[in-house]
Every structure is written in structure tokens, then in C-alpha cells.
Chains A and B, each alone.
Chain A
Amino acid sequence: MAVYEHTYKRYQGLMTPAWSRFLILPRHAFRDVFKSKLFTAFYAICFIPLLVEAVLIYLHHNVNALAIMQINVRELLPIDASFFQFFVNFQGGFAFFVALLVGPPLVSRDLRNNALPLYLCRPFSRAEYVAGKMSVLLILLSLMTWIPQLLLFLFQSYLEGWRWFVDNLWIASAIFIGSIVWVLLLALLSQAVSALVKWRVVASGALLGIFFIPSVFGEVINQIFVTRWGSIISIAALMRNITSGLFGSFVRETGSVRITGFDETIVREIVLREPPLWACWAAMFVVCAICLALLSRKVRAYEVVS
């Protein structure tokens, strides 16, 4: 089918391996995503906290620099699990906003323009389509969460020494698992919302609502029933508990409520306990399962309407 010949000819060349074809989608999506200068600027800003983190780690080990700046090392944050947990949470917040900007149009745009038959009439399955679309977010969010965090962990290990690395290897696993769970959750949720809602603005609003509305409801339940089990429907609270669990800072008892009589005597004391970690993980799996079920239902070449 050469331009000058204008005849139909079959393709006779080599083919790419089938397993790698889902990566074509993020490659083309990045071209579109980074067309926006505003988004590119925002994505660059997301790396500033990591820069601050790197500087703090560096300062801890550079006596000359501290002397010049007249800073006492004790005034700096200690480089321990809580230090990394703080930055993992901070980057998680940025990751949420990146997902909010990039995620909603990924599937909805294809659904709105009936593009799915074009993808799925090729040797490209629905699972590969979802994997390809999810990997857009997985790659973007990984680049700003666990990958630089682990590099900084290695940087700290390099400066502190082998012993520190061995003793704190669990922090690396906490960084990785905590971030990857959050990134996966964001990718799944935004794809599911994107598959359900065809309009970008509405999809972004829905994604925002999924995080904030259950949190509000959860807090209402907590207040009315004097419990902490309302957190089980709040994705933000679930994630906070899971991350705390991974970094070893999870505390179930978060307070107590004393019910007093008219004479100020304590009638009853209720200890407020967060849901156990297994319940948080189970709730998170349920959320992911619902997202996958939704994607499986919506991502089809043609929807059969009964």
C-alpha cells in the first residue's frame, strides 16, 4: 500500500510481542496529557516535597552545611519511619490531585466517542485495555510516589551506612506497599468512575465525591453511635489506617467518651477504637473488587441493552 502505488497490500513485516501491546496506550496518553502546560507545571510542582525530603536527608549528614546555616541537627526532623510516612502521605495527596486531573477522561472519552469497538476488534482484550488505561495513572503516580521515595530511602541508607539499611528495610517495604496500594486504588477508582460517567467534569466531581462524601457520612456515624467504625466507609480513613499499620504507628484506641450523670459521676466510659487493620484491608479489597466488577461490566465493545 505504498503511497505512490495506491494499491491495497497486506502487511508483511514483523509484529510486536502481544504481551507488550497494552503499553501502547500510556505512550499515546502521555502525549495528550503533557500537551497541557498547566498540568505539566503542576506535575513538576508535585516533586518539590521530594526535593525538600532529599535536602533534609542531606542536611542530616552534612555537618559543614549545618554549621554554615547555623542549624542544630536536633532541630531537624529525625530520619525514621515517621519521617518517611509523613512524605508518603504528602505525596499521596498530590497523587490524588493528579489522578483527579488525568483519570476521569481516560475511559469516558472512549465511551463517549464509541471508540471501544476500534480497540477491541483488534488482538487486544478488554483486560489489556483496562491494564493499558490503568497503567497511565500507575506510571504517572508511581513516578511521584514510591519510586522517588525508595530512591531517597537508598540515599539515606548510603549516607547512614549498611547497618541502618538492614535495620530499616521494613520501612522500604512500608513505603512500597503503602504507596502502591494508594496508587492502585486511585487508578481503579478513577477508571471505574470514568467508565460510569461519560462527561469529564462530572466524572471528576464523582471521584472527588467518592472520597469526601463517605468520609462525612462516616464521621456522622461515628458521632451518632459514639464509635469509630464509621471510618470503615471512608476511603481516606481506611488508607490512613493501612499506612499507619505499615509504618508501625497504628493505634486502635483513639480516645474515649465519658457519659456523666447529673452529679458529674461517670456513668459509662466508651473507649473509641478504630476498626482493626484486617477490617481496613478487607474493606479496601471490597472497594477494589467493586471497581473491577464495574469495569468488567462497562468496558465492552457494545453494550447490550435488555
Chain B
Amino acid sequence: MAATETLPEQKTAFNSADFAPVIDLNDLSVHFGGRPILRSLRGELRGRAVGLLGPNGAGKTTLIHTLLGFHDPSSGTAHIFGRDITTEIKQIRQVVGYMPERDSFIARMSAVHLVRLMAELSGLPSEAALERAHEALFYVGLGEARYRNLDTYSLGMKQLAKLAQAIVHGPRLIFLDEPTNGLDPPARQRMLRLIREIRDSGQAHIVLSSHLLRDVEECCEEILILKDGQIAQYCNLEEERKANRKFLVLETRGDQNAFARSVAALGCEYALTTDSRVKIVLADNVEVRDIYRAADEHQVQIRRMSYKRDSLEDIFLKAMENGHGGL
């Protein structure tokens, strides 16, 4: 089989699309049997690693499937690297890798055989596909087990094999649907480390769909939270944390009331508890050292201080409460 075509990356169309957002959602709606699953999703995802969050049935997997062209949009469309999913899905699939949530294998095949087949179907010539299959399996840590039949793999190994087939053709965008499902802690850590490595290599963007907030927190820079098929929140995780208010919980000895009034005068909200604790929500212009100064003025001892920023869980729960924040 003659290898004559060039990589899509080498084509001018994709070069010109380098400045386009990774995923551009244009009023994307998907209905199944008249029931709306995704409703008018709008926004541009540009992050290196985007976490896709949402409760069960929020439409995370449907969004991934629609972006891969498995489902037709009922209305609207989306673009991946500037290419329309309704008209240029083949070109998109050339530069996209997908790790499905469920077990997906071809029976009676060794891992190297499966990954090679997938590489060939992505357009790699036979020899290059075999070489990349070995490399991908070594990369994910299945080098020693690559000739074993997939049916004999443990769940963790199967997840790694799925990751290997998703990256074997060197895609620019990788969709990972619940990659840590069913993994024990060491296997989960290994998977997350691989995802972070791919992200940090700068060679591929990642869209990670997961129920596990911790996984998303560890791997993603940006999050897209879906609720009832709509975007509840899209934000940069670090910026959102910085922008969110900071909480202090102080354990004090001394005149708590005078201290609290002084803190309030700084513009902070506070709450006194019965067990000598003061909870303070820091105002934007107030630093922790201002709190120390106020305590010093009133001869209040600060025995313990815990400093807390919004965790992803807080951001997620707020998005769930607030409803549809949009972009």
C-alpha cells in the first residue's frame, strides 16, 4: 500500500487553523427521540486540558460523541481546530484520539495487534503503525505485556491499552471518557501521571470527562461543567480559585468581639462560633497580615489558623446550585 498522503498538520488548512479555538461550540443541540440531551451549547474551549464535569445524564458523553461525529446535531454545530463537525468529520477524526468509557476491544487480539490495527486505520503505513504501536504500549507501561491477548488483561491494563490506541497516531486532541473508571489507587495515579505528561508535552490538547473531581483537578487547567445538557460553568480553574473569596477559620483567645468588629471594619464578613472560633471571609483588598495586625491591636492570641480557597468541589457545587452560568 503506497504511502502518498501527507499528514493533515502539514496542510495549509490546518496551519491556518492553529489560532482557532480547540473546540468551538456554536449553539450545539442534540435531541434523542425528541428529548433534548444537549441544549444550545455555546463557547470556545482553548485550554490545553479541559475537564468535562457534570452529574450523571448531564450530557458529557453525548457531547464527546457528537464532537466525534457519532451523533448528528439537531441544530447548531461545533468546530474542532476550525473544522466543522457536520461537514469535515473525517479531517477532524484524523487529528483526534478517543478513549471510550466502556470496554472496547476486538476479541482474540493481542494489544500490539489491536493498537497497530487502529494506527493503520488512522492512516499510518503498516510498518510505521507497528513501530508506533510498540512505542505507544511502552509509553503507557504495557511494554512487557504487549503480546498478551487483551482478553487476559486486568481492568487497569485494559484502560492503559485503550489509552495506547487513542494516542498511537499522535493526535492533536484526545478525548478521554472516564479514564480512571474502576482503577485501583496506584493504577489511577499512573493514568493521571500519563495524562499530565501528555498535557505537559504540549503536543496534544486533552478533554477529560470524569465524575471524579479530584482527577480533573489534578490534570486540567480548565473545566466545563454541564447540567441538564446546558453549560453551567466554563472557567480556568486557577483563575477561578484566585477570583473566589478566601476563607479563614481562626481559633482565638482574648476579646473576640472587639477583634471581630475590627475585622468587620476592614470590610470582611465574619461569624463567631461558640468554641472560640472566628470564621472570616476575606475581602478582596485584605491580606492575612491585616488580620494579624487587628488581632495584635486587641491583644487577641491566634492559636490556630486554617486558610481555605474554593476547591473544585466548591466550584462544581456552586455551578450546580446556580444553574446555567453560560460562557
Q: Which residues of A contact B (CB under 8 A)?
A: 1-3, 6-18, 20-21, 23-24, 28, 32, 109-110, 112-115, 117-125, 300-302, 304, 306
Give the complex CA separation of A122 and B93 in angstroms. 5
* A114 x B100 contact (CB < 8 A): yes
Shortest beta-carbon distance from B174 to chain A in Å:
9
Instruction: Write out the residue numbers on chain A whose beta carbons fall within 8 Å of the beta carbon of B97.
Output: 121
Contact at A18–B107, with CB atoms within 8 Å?
Answer: no
Which residues 65-92 in B have Cβ within 8 Å of A in the complex? Answer: 65, 68-71, 90-91
Partner of A8, one of B5, B32, B98, B139: B139
Enumerate chain B residues within 8 angstroms of A110, measured Cβ to Cβ.
Answer: 106
> Is the Cβ of A3 less than 8 Å from the Cβ of B143?
yes
Check if B203 sits within 8 Å of A17, measured CB to CB: no
Inter-subunit contact B120/A16 (CB<8 Å): yes
Q: How large is the interface on B (under 10, 10 to 19, 20 to 34, 35 or more residues)?
A: 35 or more
Q: List 7 A-B contacts (CB under 8 A).
A: A10-B172, A13-B124, A14-B6, A15-B124, A21-B123, A115-B106, A123-B94
Q: How far is the CA of A3 from the CA of B204 in the complex (A)?
A: 19
CB distance from B15 to the nearest CB of A (A): 14
Enumerate B132-150 residues with CB–CB distance to A below 8 Å: 132, 134-136, 138-139, 143
**Chain B positions within 8 Å of A123 at CB level:** 90-91, 93-94, 121-123
**From A7, A16, A122, A301, contact of B1 by CB (8 A):** A16
Contacts of A118 in B (CB 8 A): 98, 100, 104-106, 118, 165
Report how far A254 CA is from B3 CA in the complex, Å. Answer: 57
**Most chain-A CB neighbours within 10 Å: which of B65, B90, B120?**
B120
Cβ A115 vs Cβ B1 within 8 A: no
Give the shortest distance, in Å, between A39 (CB) and chain B (any CB).
14
**Selected contact of A16 from candidates B3, B9, B91, B203, CB within 8 Å:** B3
Contacts of A13 in B (CB 8 A): 3, 7, 124-125, 128
Say yes or no: B123 contacts A115, CB within 8 Å.
Answer: no
Any chain A CB within 8 A of the CB of B60? no
Q: Which residues of A contact B106 (CB under 8 A)?
A: 109-110, 113, 115, 118
- Contact of A7 with B6 at beta-carbon distance under 8 Å, contacts A24-B117, A113-B104 already known: no
**With the chains together, A199 CA to B118 CA distance in Å?**
24
CB pair B93 A121 closer than 8 Å: yes
Contacts of A6 in B (CB 8 A): 138-139
Contact B90 A125 (CB under 8 A): yes
Contact A3 B135 (CB under 8 A): yes
Tell me, in angstroms, the Cα distance from A277 to B136 when the chains sit together. Answer: 57
In the complex, whether B227 has a CB less than 8 A from a CB of chain A is no
Chain B residues in 8 Å Cβ range of A306: 32-33
Q: Name the residue of chain B whose CB is nearest to the CB of A302.
A: B70
B170 touching A10 by the CB < 8 A rule? yes
Within 8 A of A (CB), among B30-47: 32-33
Tell which of B70, B90, B103, B124 touches A11, judged by Cβ atoms closer than 8 Å.
B124
Closest Cβ–Cβ distance, residue B313 to chain A (whole Å):
30
Query: Lowest 6 A-B CB distances belong to which pairs?
Result: A10-B170, A11-B170, A306-B33, A14-B3, A121-B98, A15-B123
Smallest distance from the beta carbon of B13 to chain A beta carbons, Å?
15
The answer to whether A8 touches B107 (Cβ under 8 A) is no
Contact B117 A15 (CB under 8 A): no
Q: For residue B195, give the distance in angstroms from its CB to the closest CB of chain A.
A: 10
What are the residues of chain B within 8 A of A3 when measuring CB–CB?
A: 134-135, 138, 143
Q: Which residues on A sit within 8 Å (CB–CB) of B6?
A: 14-15
Q: A109-B107, A306-B33 are in contact. Are A114 and B201 (CB under 8 A)?
A: no
When distances are taken between beta carbons in the complex, the residues of chain B under 8 Å from A7 are 139, 197, 201
Q: How far is the CB of B145 from chain A (nearest CB, A)?
A: 15
Q: How far is the CB of A10 from chain B (nearest CB, A)?
A: 4
B288 interface contact, C-beta 8 A = no
CA distance A125 to B68 in the complex (A): 12
Which residues of chain B have C-beta atoms less than 8 A from A14's C-beta?
A: 3-7, 125, 128
| Contact indicator A8/B71 (Cβ below 8 Å) | no
Roughly how many angstroms separate A13 CA and B119 CA in the complex, as a whole number?
12
Q: Which residue of B lies closest to A128 (CB)?
A: B121
Say yes or no: A18 contacts B165, CB within 8 Å: no
State whether B102 touches A18 (Cβ < 8 A): no
Partner of A113, one of B4, B91, B105: B105
Contacts of A12 in B (CB 8 A): 7, 9, 170
CA distance A224 to B105 in the complex (A): 50
Contacts A21-B123, A301-B65, A302-B65 given; does A10 touch B107 at CB 8 Å: no
Which of A113, A124, A306 has most chain B Cβ within 10 Å? A113
Cβ distance A114 to chain B, nearest Cβ, rounded Å: 4
- Closest A residue, CB atoms, query B64: A121
Choice from A16, A109, A113, A120 contacting B125 with Cβ under 8 Å: A16
Beyond contacts A16-B125, A18-B5, A123-B122: 4 other A-B pairs, Cβ-Cβ < 8 A, are A11-B128, A11-B169, A14-B7, A300-B70
User: How far, in Å, is B287 (CB) from chain A's closest CB?
Assistant: 41
Q: Determine if A15 and B201 form an interchain contact, defined as CB atoms under 8 angstroms apart.
A: no
Determine whether the beta carbon of B118 is less than 8 Å from that of A122.
yes
Q: Which residue of A lies closest to B127 (CB)?
A: A13
